Amino acid sequence: MNRQQRRLAARHARARAEIRAQHQAEQEIYYARLDSVYLEQSYTVVALALNELYGFGQKRIAKVWNRMNEMLYSIGESEEEYMKLRARVNDELGMHISWTKE
């Protein structure tokens, strides 16, 4: 392989790496947006359910949202912290959380 062919191959490799990096960045943005959209939808339906079922108003729903934020921040990205909260739901409320069809 001569010098020109090596340079061309290196240029193509850099271009492929840039395309991969751009694609990965776009995927991360998409997943971040997906997570934020899902989170926003969750907060919306929680607010409406609390209002419909228990007559919660703006102040009480804001308190619930603040507590949800505190709990979510405490979890962060820790699977262990999340599992502790799931165990609390099971122990304290007698409810099991599962998103799989059983």
pLDDT in tens, 42-63: 999 999 999 999 999 999 999 9
CA 82/CA 95 separation, integer angstroms: 15
pLDDT at 5 over 80: yes
Instruction: Say which amino acid occupies 19.
Output: I
Percent of the chain past pLDDT 70, that is, above it, reads: 89
| Mean pLDDT for the stretch of residues 9-31 | 82
Task: Provide mean pLDDT across the span 95-101.
Answer: 75
Alpha helices in 55-90 (DSSP H): 58-75, 79-88
Residue with tokens 């059983």: 102
Q: Exposed (0-12), middle (13-18) or buried (19+): which is 50, by Cβ within 10 Å?
A: middle
Averaged over 65-87, what is the pLDDT? 88
Residue that has been written with the tokens 């926003």 in this structure: 40
Cα separation of 89 and 97, whole Å? 8
